[in-house]
Each structure stands twice: as structure tokens, then as C-alpha cells.
Structure 1
Amino acid sequence: MEVVIAPVARLAQLAADAVERLLVTRPDAVLGLATGSSPLAVYDELARRHAERGLSFARARGFLLDEYVGLPADHPQRYRTVIETELVSRVDLPSDAVQGPDGLAADLPAACAAYERAIADAGGVDLQVLGVGTDGHVAFNEPGSSLASRTRIKTLTRQTREDNARFFDGDVDAVPTHCLTQGLGTVLEARHLVLVATGRHKAQAVHQLVEGPVTALWPGSVLQMHPHVTVLVDDAAASRLQLADHYRQTWADKPSWQTI
């Protein structure tokens, strides 16, 4: 696990660098796309590179981490709509090349199984963008989730619904109670995980994810078991890291030829 501590704008550039390198070397790459606040600066930077430098997503494919259950197809907070607004409509990634779990399916377990098959049929995810919740959830794998879990329906914690109420005009009761989410086992199969976390409210989750024991109480801690994880955090999110000085020195001494 590599930890990089830098200003928010630099974190977005580093994450975008990783996506750009991948698309240049493999134009038909499979991208894992997260929603929420953490990836927004990354998507802004990718959109800028598309507009100004011609970075192309035309042959790429995308898979969403999760989706609310029951939100109408035209709801602005449906994650398929959010990713269309924040990324797809701003680059040349075809809308039909992006898939998400079907939160409106009549048979939700069948929809989850179908989503797992779709990811496998695409050859798996090459680079997965991630965030982490204040309670340590990755995707919507809430505390107590199986570390080997697959795509499935989950019940959101009160904390997560309160955190996400800002997207629903502050009304926690408008936040759905259930979601479909890639499992931790599914996430771990992506070849490169790039996690972005900013703000002091994420500091405890980042500390547990990077330096804590691997435990279902902090689901993000399972990322310690992955061979290629990049954790991009600002000073505030890094404020509880015991080895923060070491991470800064390691980044400063990184060989110039070595990418994240």
C-alpha cells in the first residue's frame, strides 16, 4: 500500500495520471467508477485533460461500485445519473459502455449475480477509483461486512444515511435505506485500487484503513491485503496517521521512473 499526502489539487492530478497512463497503454481499459464527493476533483481533472489534451475514453468501459435501491431512473441522486453528469457527459466515454447494479430490478439477488458476471465477462476492472466513508465503508460495505463479500443488497447504517443527506437537501429520510454494492471480495479483484480521501472527518477511517488491524469493523482495512493500492489523502485526512512523516519521506524519495 502506497500512501501519498498532498494538497487536494495534486491528489486529483495523481489519480488522473494513473487513469491517463492506463488509457494510453490500453485504450479499451475497464475503469471502476466511484461516486460521492471524493472522486469529483479527479473527474474534473480527467474532463479537463479530455477537453484540452484529447485524452480519449472512447474504447473504455466503466462499472459503478454501487447503486441505491428504489430510486427512480430519473432521480438526480441515482448513481448512474450522477456518473453521467460528473464524468460520462464530459468526455467521450459512451453512455452504453458504463454499467451499474440495477437498483430497480424485480429480482435483486439475480441482478447482483448478473452484475458480477458482467464484470467478469469484461475481463475484470483494471483501475478502481474508491472513496472511504467516515465509518470505514468502501463502496457500501458497511461495518460488519464480510471481507470476502460479493455484489449484494445491503442496509445502510444511520451514519451513512446522515452523511449522504447532504445530497438529498439535508433530509436523511429521503436517503434510501438499501443499496446494491460490489462486495469487498469483488473490489479486491480490481488490478489497481486508487482511493482518495480528504478532510479531517475522514481521518479516523483513513488511519484504520492504512494502519489498523484488518477487521470487518473497518471494512476499508481489507485493502491492506491487495498488492497494488494507492491511498491519496490531504493533510487533514492524514492527521491521525502514525507514520505520516514516513509516508511523506517515502514519497519524496520515490524513484523518478516509478509511478503510483
Structure 2
Amino acid sequence: MEVVIVPDAATGGRLVAGAVAALLREHSSIVLGLATGSSPAPVYDDLAARHQRGELSLAGSRAFLLDEYVGLPPGHPESYRAVIEREVVARLDLPGAAVRGPDGGATDLEAACRDYDATVRAAGVHLQLLGVGTDGHIGFNEPGSSLGSSTRLKTLTAQTRRDNARFFGGDPEAVPRHVLTQGIATILAARHLVLLAWGEAKADAVAALVEGPLTAMVPASALQLHPRATVVVDEAAAAGLRLADYYRETWEGKPAWQRW
């Protein structure tokens, strides 16, 4: 696992968007794994700016969403499909039809999960963006989730619903109780995992996932198993890292030829 400590979220966004741009220079089309929430927002901002300058095109690429709420009506502004439409599709040239997510309105949710999981794995995600919850969850794999899990139905914890209440008028009860989420094993199948975290509120989760034990109680610690995982954090989110100075030293001394 590589840990990159940046001065602020905007710097981290530029760094990760640069990795996407580098992929596009290597491949005519790529497969991205898209996350929602505040963590990937700086990446989407920088990708949009690069596109506006004519430096980047996702016209031939595809993308998959990590998760989706169950039971929200079609077109609900806080469905993750709607969020990605606003933050990515509307600002770049990634075709809306090339973006797929779990079907939270399916009649047979189990079948929808199986089909989606198979599609994601068959596509082969080049770069998967991730955030981390204050309790260490990734996607909606809450503490206690199987590290070998695939796409499935999950029940949200009270903490996650409180964290997401800001998107639903501040009311945790307005946050759906159930979601469909890519499982941890599905996430780990991507070629490159990039987890982003900003702010003091994420410091404990970052320390646990990077330097703590591998445990289902901190689902994000599963990144320790991946051969190419990058954790990008600002100074506040890095506050709990015991080896922070080492991470800074290794990043500053990284050979120019070595990919990240």
C-alpha cells in the first residue's frame, strides 16, 4: 500500500486526476470505478477542468458505480446514479449510457446483484476510486462485512445514516436503510485502488485501514491485500498515522519511472 500525504484536497484531486489522464494516454478507452460523496469530488473537479481545456476525453470509456440506495424513486436527486450524472457525466464527455450501477429498484435484488457483479468483473476496472467512512467502511461494506463478499444487499448502520443525513435535509430517518453495494472481493478485483480521505474526522479510519490489523471490523483494511493500492490523504486525515514521516519520504523520493 502506498500512502500519499498532500497539503489539501484540491492537490489530491489534481494528483488522482493526473493518474486517470495517464491511463488515457496508455489506453484508447478505460474502465473507471466511480464513488460518490465528498471524498472524490476534487478528482471530478479536476477531470472536468482538464476536459474543458481539451486535455482529456472519456468519450470511449466506461464506468461502474460502487453502490446504490434501495427503494428511492427513479430520478431521485440523491440516488447515486443521479449524483454521478451531475458530478461526472454532465461535466465530461463520458456517455451516460456507458455508466452502470446496481439496480436499487429491481424486483429481484439478488439476481440484480449477481448480474452486476459479473458485469463489473468481466469489464475489468482499471482504476477504482474509493472513500472511507468514519467507521472504516468502503462502498457500503459496513464493519463486520465479509472480506470475500461480492455485490449484495446491505443494511446501513445508524452511524452511516447519520453521516449521510446531510444529503437528505439533515434527517437520518430520510436516508434509506438498505443499499446494494459492490462487495470487498469485487472491489479488490480492480487493477488499481485509490482511496481518498480529507479532514480530521477521517483520521481514525485512515490510521486503522493503513496501519491497523486486517479485520472485517475495518472493511477498508482489505486494501492491505491489494498489490496496487494508493491512499491519498490531506494533513488532517493523516494525523493518526505513526509512519507519516516515512510516507512523505518515500513519496518525495519515488523514482520518476515508478508508476503509482
Does TM-score exceed 0.5, indicating one fold? yes
Structure 1 residues 248-257 or 63-72, which shifts more? Answer: 248-257
User: C-alpha separation between the residues in 1 aligned to 2:28 and 2:134?
Assistant: 34
AA at the equivalent of 2:247: Y
Per-residue displacement from partner, 1:29-48 (whole Å, max 9, x unpaired)?
A: 11000001100010000000
Structure 2 match to 1:200: 200
User: C-alpha separation between the residues in 2 aligned to 1:257 and 1:14?
Assistant: 16
User: C-alpha separation between the residues in 2 aligned to 1:106 and 1:209?
Assistant: 36
1:229-244 pair list within 5 angstroms: 229-244=229-244
| Structure 2 contact 121–189 (Cα < 8 Å) conserved | no
**Residue 251 of structure 2 corresponds to residue 245 of structure 1:** no
Q: Percent identity?
A: 63
User: C-alpha separation between the residues in 1 aligned to 2:222 and 2:257?
Assistant: 29
Structure 2 match to 1:162: 162
**Residue 51 of structure 2 corresponds to residue 50 of structure 1:** yes
User: C-alpha separation between the residues in 2 aligned to 1:245 and 1:118?
Assistant: 41
User: Partner of 1:185: helix, strand, or coil?
Assistant: helix
Consecutive unaligned residues in structure 2, runs of 5 or more: none
AA at the equivalent of 1:109: E
1:43-192 pair list within 5 angstroms: 43-122=44-123, 124-192=124-192
Structure 1 match to 2:219: 219
**Where do 4+ consecutive residues of structure 1 move more than 3 Å?**
none
| Structure 1 contact 197–237 (Cα < 8 Å) conserved | yes
Per-residue displacement from partner, 1:230-251 (whole Å, max 9, x unpaired)?
A: 1000000000001001101111
Per-residue displacement from partner, 1:100-148 (whole Å, max 9, x unpaired)?
A: 00000010000000101211332x1110000000000000000000000
Aligned residues: 259
User: C-alpha separation between the residues in 1 aligned to 2:3 and 2:131?
Assistant: 14
User: Partner of 2:43: helix, strand, or coil?
Assistant: helix
User: C-alpha separation between the residues in 1 aligned to 2:121 and 2:259?
Assistant: 27
Q: TM-score, normalised by structure 2?
A: 0.98
Per-residue displacement from partner, 1:195-238 (whole Å, max 9, x unpaired)?
A: 11000000010001100000011000011000000100000000
Q: TM-score, normalised by structure 1?
A: 0.98
AA at the equivalent of 1:169: G
Per-residue displacement from partner, 1:28-81 (whole Å, max 9, x unpaired)?
A: 211000001100010000000001133000110000000000011111100000
User: Partner of 2:232: helix, strand, or coil?
Assistant: strand
Superposition RMSD on alpha carbons, in Å? Answer: 0.8
**Residue 10 of structure 2 corresponds to residue 15 of structure 1:** no
| Structure 2 contact 32–126 (Cα < 8 Å) conserved | yes
| Structure 1 contact 207–238 (Cα < 8 Å) conserved | yes
| Structure 2 contact 121–186 (Cα < 8 Å) conserved | no
